[in-house]
Amino acid sequence: MEKIKKAIQEVYEMLKNREVNPSGSFDNVGRFWGREEEFLKNIRTPSRAFPYSHMAALRTKKYVNFIAKKFKCSNKEMILKHL
């Protein structure tokens, strides 16, 4: 259990420091759309006023925990694979 907590913290730090990026794409007006719809269902949709609302949500520790549980990850590499 301690190993996965450490892995989650490391991946969170990597996202926070922009060493890795969450999965998603930009549209023609520069809005970022994340690919993890199940996690993003309660997050504000990107707009011209808030183009990075999905990206901000996908850089949180809550998201890393969600990915680790959803895919039953046991180490940092597995978590990174599913981002």
Q: What is the pLDDT of residue 3?
A: 92
Q: What is the pLDDT of residue 10?
A: 97
Q: What is the pLDDT of residue 34?
A: 96
Tokens of 78: 């597995």
- Name the stretches of the chain with pLDDT < 70: none
Query: Taking CA 2 as the corner, what is the angle to CA 66 and CA 12, rounded to the nearest 5 degrees?
Result: 45
Q: What is the pLDDT of residue 46?
A: 97
pLDDT in tens, 47-70: 999 999 999 999 999 999 999 999
